[in-house]
Every structure is written in C-alpha cells, then in structure tokens.
Structure 1
Amino acid sequence: MSSPKTLHLAVELDGAHPETSPPALAAAVADAERAGFAFATFDDAPVPPASGFRVDATVRAAYSAAQTSGIGLAPTSHVLTAEPFHLAAQLASLDHATHGRAAWIVGTAATPAALATVGRAAPANLRQEVADVVEVIRRLWDSWEDDAVITDLATGRYLDPDKVHHVDFTGETFSVKGPLITPRPPQGSLVVLAAEDFADVVRPDIVLTGNLQHRRQAAPLVFGELEVRFDSAARPPSGRTRYTGDPAGLVPFLAQLDLDGVRLHPAAKDLPLLNQEVLPELRRRGLLTPPEPGATLRATLGLPRPENRFAVSSKGIA
C-alpha cells in the first residue's frame, strides 16, 4: 500500500493576528513553526489599513527570521509601488537573514489609491509591467554568481569582479543596469508565489488558486486558498473557498484535496485550534511533514535550486 501524499500547509498571519507588535508577532510565528507549517505569509497593501500605520510586510518577515529556524517566511510585496532594484535587494536580504527560508508573494495592486502612494499613473499594460518587474528581479538575484565573494584577507580582495554581472534590462516603463548590491540569495532565487490570474506572466514556483477542486499545471506547485472559520454562522468570504465546520472535520477535508499545498486564512480566534488540533492530527496520519530546522524553503517544498543564468552562460553552456 502506498503511503499517503503529504500536504504542505502555509498560514496567513495578517488576518489571523492583526496585532503586529514585536512580541505578538514573535509569538504567532513561533506557534506556527511549532505546529509544523511549511511557511507563514504576511499580507500587505500600499494603502495603510483603516486601523492606521502598519509595518511593511518584508520588515515583519525579517524580524521573524531571528525568532525561527525552520518555517519559511513569505511577505507580499507589490511591484507597481516599489522600485524593482530596491525590491530585489530587500528580498535578497530577507533570504540572507533567514538563511534561505524566504519567499515572495508577487503583489499586483493597481488601484488609483495604491498608485497615488507613489505618485504614479496606471500602467498602460499591467500584465507586461508585472512580467518586466519579476524578470528583472530574477536577473538581479543572478547578477552575483554563487562564488563571487572570495574575502581574500591576504590580498584585501572581497569579490571576483568577473563573477558580478550587469543585467542590462530594458522594459516598456523602466530600465535597470545592475548589478545588485546584495550577493545572490542563499536559495539562488526566493520561492516566488503568484495568484492564478498572473501565473502566465510571473512563472511562479507556487500558484495560488481559489479553486480547490481542479488542479491546474500552472506552476511546479499549486496551493489552494482556504478561509477557515470554525463557526457555521461565519459570513462567506468573497472569491475564496471557505471551511466553516469544526477542527476535526478540517483534517479529512484537507486530506481529500488533490493539491500540493493549502494556504490557510484563519480568524485570530481559530489560529490556536489549527496549531493545537488540526496540524497535530495531520502529522499523526502522515499527511504533514514539518520543515527541518536549518532547511531552506526550497528544500522543504521539494523545489530545485535554480542555476545562475550568468554562470551557465560564462561556461558556454547557454
């Protein structure tokens, strides 16, 4: 008899834990790690929430890096309200801070209010600009070869300049010369997630879908989006599958899904029940394998570490 297929689980901590003070955030992420989640996600939006100021999602993830050793950390960062070069450096730094446990959820907010935060007009072609930003960020992550840093104390040389490359990217709305100011991320490339609507232009490692019934081969991994409210009177969420039964019933519900993983969106009051009842039962049944301390997120998810395009080219293989 074949062993049951394991399921990767992620948890969105923004809605589940709106309190973003450092102690509260540290406790929420630590609880998620102990429960066995593959990674935690941190939502974000260019426009501050009605409750007022909120620390940037990437900063929240970076803070959480020092509090954890196995769980992946995945902030949402929006491509239209940040400079591609700075976004690439910020995300690469996060992967260094986590020792290879970082991911990036590609945010595509393009409302007038979002764009007004940086004083720009709507793009003529949203999908093309999203594609350009993601492409140049991946090129910038590759602009340092893995062995570019040599730190030769005897000669005072820090890096090999022949292994640091210009990316020379020109898109419809911006251009970037490069190279990046940050060495290549430990994972080579962060794990990239994108909504199903943008999967064709982002080419993500993980596509996020609201449809839990039909698995589409749009990316190496497919994760369903699931609202969790352990309350039969819960109000249906918009555009996302919901679960409103009890914790015991969620286990067989998840077990029957033909997906690589699920990102759970619990309410604050329901997060402890996930940690204390649902994930332990999934682990007992062999349906969930927690990340190993010190493992990269790519290793946890079974994703290969990508080749550096410039290193391959310099060897005459490309």
Structure 2
Amino acid sequence: MAESPLHLGIALDRAGHHPAAWREPDARPEELFSPDYWAGQLAEAERGLLDLVTIEDSFGEDGAGEVTGRLDAVLIASRVAPLTRNIGIVPTAVVTHTEPFHLSKAIATLDYVSGGRAGIQVQISAGAQEAALFGRRAGTENNARLFAEAADYVEVLRRLWDSWEDGAEIRDAATGRFIDRDRLHYIDFAGEWFSVRGPSITPRPPQGQPLVVSRTGSLGAATDLAFLTPADRSDAEQRIAELGADRPAHVFADLLVFLDEDAETARERRTRLDALAGPARTEAATFTGTAAELAGLLLDWRAAGLSGFRLLPASIPHDLRRITRDLVPELQRRGAFRSAYEASTLRGLLGLPRPANRYAA
C-alpha cells in the first residue's frame, strides 16, 4: 500500500530563522515591515504547493545584532490572506497574555477572509520580562500551569466558534429577523483562568473550527497539529510514543534548513552566518546540505510516525526558494508530494473533516 504524500509547512520569521539572515546579500531588511514583503513570502510558499505557513510572533526582546521589532502575526495574516488562494495561514498568538474572546473573533475573521484556510498557533510565555509588559501577572508560573491555562484557552476558543450554529443568520428582510436566536448559545465556561459566558459576536467560521496548532505535544488532542523538535529519527519515534493515544491528528517535525546546490556551499554559508551573530537559537534540529539530501532525510524520518514537516528557512528568500523550487520538485519526482492543491480549505488539505457543532440539536 502506497504511503500518503508528505505534508509540508514553512515557519516564516522576518528575514529568516538565523539571527544574521538580514545581513545576507539577497535579504531585504528595508522591506521587513511592509505588506509586500510578507505577500511575497506567502506567494512563494504557495508556488511550492505547501500545506501551510506559520507566521511567528512573540513579546520577547531580540538579541544584539538581530532584527529588532516585529509586526503582529494575526494582522499580517489578515492582510495577506486575500492575496492567496490555497495555502493555509496560521499566525502565532501568545495566549498567556491575551484574551480568548478577542482571539476567537480575530481567527474566525481570518477564516472568512481566507475562505476557510485559517489556523492559530498557540504559544505560552513564561518570562517575567514579558509579563512586565502587561503588568497583570508575575510571570513566574511554571510551564505545566501555563500549558494547563493554554488548554483552557483552546477550549474557550472552540466553544466560541461553535456558539453560532451553522445557518444561524437567516437574513429575512420581510420579518426583520437577521439571526435565529435559538441557534446562538451561551458557552458558560468557568475555570481557574477564564469565566466566559459568550456567545461570540462572529458567525461560525467556514471551517467550523479553524486549525489549532501548538509547538509541542503538551496540549495533546486539544490541538489538531503539533510541531515537535526531534534530534533524529529515533528521537522522533520516542517523542511520538510519549504523546500516546491522546495525540493530535497530525504531528510534524520542525527542521531548520540551510539549502544550496552542493553541501559544501551550504556549510560555508552556515559558518559565515554563525560567525556574524552566533548559531540560530532554536530547539529544532538543523539540516545543512542539498535538496536531494533533505528529501531523503524527510522520507526516512517519516517512518517514525510523522505526517509532515515544518521547515524553518535559515534565510529568506534564499532557503525559502530552495524549498519551493528544489526540494518540492525532488519530492514530487519521488512520488512523495502533491502536484496540485486538492482541497480549498486548510482542514481539507490535511484530510481533517469539518467538525459538527457541539451545541446543535
């Protein structure tokens, strides 16, 4: 029986995931805060038929010599979504310091703007320095409590997305009834961190439930997709086994990539960037080599139980283009990647059904 094609995503972060990426000859640091820069990255990723892009975000400070400042990921996503047609768009939100009602509305809006291609990457923040930006909590909680809070946050998001049944908007001009109030529901969520009555003020999103993503498996089946950071295939097998039966529908491995026509050039570029600003600060394993070598590694790691990979381009546009124009054709030649988009929603691309509404009779 033939294996299912690989799923591929890209993590977009300013000039790339190496702190010195903005100093590369083909980088465009003067455009980092322009909409055209982000639109170009999304267009390139879609050119490569990728499943999704994540747009990275945080409240933390950047190191010396790095790009300083960043745009809001959710707002970037809303700006560029209408310029794309097929690729999934998954901005990052730091849920430790934000409110689920606001985020549920923003991501529901993104799902409408994109025609059903939205997701949200849930991220925690444990640092006291980041907490001080808001002044509402000490920032000294341990990660276990922060992930427990994030799990409640996701539950509130999902309930709010379901608080309008499908077809709740009846738009009956003759009677003056725009909505059927019997199809709107209070969610009445009460927990340690949140007490939210609802309902949302935004109708149920096109996907029913936009994709919920996390960077570890700590939220279990509360999410649809988890990004793991294994060191190798054996480590991937162990991490997937640790997730157990309560794991998300999809598990991708994160991999930082330096890609070139030959491995020696890739190694030289990595060495040069490291000399400028030190190695990239990431938990992800790092691959340095050619597209053919990377294709072989991805297919080997897939046997550990991974359904896909999220690739972190070390520098943009260089490594992003190597992924879309070299790696994707190599995977296609091996029969391991799509030759055309086969669905119009992000859930469809990942083979996930549109969930039923929990409140519908």
Aligned to 1:27: 40
Alignment match of 1:243 (pick from 279, 287, 290) = 287
Establish whether residue 8 from structure 1 lines up as the match of residue 7 from structure 2: yes
State the 1:90 CA deviation.
0.8
TM-score (norm 2): 0.81
Percent identity over the alignment is: 40
Indicate conservation of the 8 Å contact 1:225/1:262, yes or no.
yes
Q: 1:185 to 1:49 in 2, by over 3 A?
A: farther
Query: CA-to-partner distance for each residue in 1:156-209, whole Å, 9 max, x for gaps?
Result: 211100000111111112311100011111111111111225233x62111111
Distance 2:133 2:126 in 1: 11
Kindly report which structure 2 residues correspond to 1:165-184, keeping only aligned pairs within 5 A, or say none.
165-184=185-204
Indicate conservation of the 8 Å contact 1:291/1:300, yes or no.
no
Kindly report which structure 2 residues correspond to 1:32-181, keeping only aligned pairs within 5 A, or say none.
32-47=45-60, 49=62, 51-121=67-137, 122=139, 123=141, 125-181=145-201
Larger fraction in helix: 2
Indicate conservation of the 8 Å contact 2:147/2:219, yes or no.
no
Establish whether residue 296 from structure 1 lines up as the match of residue 345 from structure 2: yes
State the 1:294 CA deviation.
6.4
Establish whether residue 305 from structure 1 lines up as the match of residue 354 from structure 2: yes
The 3-state SS of whatever aligns with 2:97 is: coil
Q: Which amino acid aligns with 1:22?
A: P
Alignment match of 2:248 (pick from 211, 219, 240) = 219
CA RMSD in angstroms, aligned pairs only: 2.0
Establish whether residue 232 from structure 1 lines up as the match of residue 261 from structure 2: no
The 3-state SS of whatever aligns with 1:11 is: strand
Q: List runs of 5+ in structure 2 lacking aligned partners.
A: 17-21, 23-31, 260-265
Q: Which amino acid aligns with 2:201?
A: I
The 3-state SS of whatever aligns with 1:76 is: strand
Distance 1:67 1:222 in 2: 28
Aligned to 1:203: 222
Distance 1:193 1:87 in 2: 14
- Aligned structure 1 segments of 4 or more residues deviating by more than 6 angstroms: none
Q: Which amino acid aligns with 1:260?
A: S
Q: Which amino acid aligns with 2:348?
A: A
Q: Which amino acid aligns with 2:108?
A: A
The 3-state SS of whatever aligns with 1:162 is: helix
State the 1:291 CA deviation.
6.1
State the 1:86 CA deviation.
0.5
The 10-residue stretch of structure 1 (13-22 or 34-43) with the greater mean CA deviation from structure 2: 13-22
Q: List runs of 5+ in structure 1 lacking aligned partners.
A: none
Q: Which amino acid aligns with 1:93?
A: T
Indicate conservation of the 8 Å contact 2:74/2:93, yes or no.
yes
Query: CA-to-partner distance for each residue in 1:105-132, whole Å, 9 max, x for gaps?
Result: 1111121122222212135832321121
Q: 1:291 to 1:151 in 2, by over 3 A?
A: farther
The 10-residue stretch of structure 1 (29-38 or 112-121) with the greater mean CA deviation from structure 2: 112-121
Indicate conservation of the 8 Å contact 1:75/1:105, yes or no.
yes
Distance 1:180 1:43 in 2: 26
Between Structure 1 and Structure 2, how many residues are aligned?
310
TM-score (norm 1): 0.91
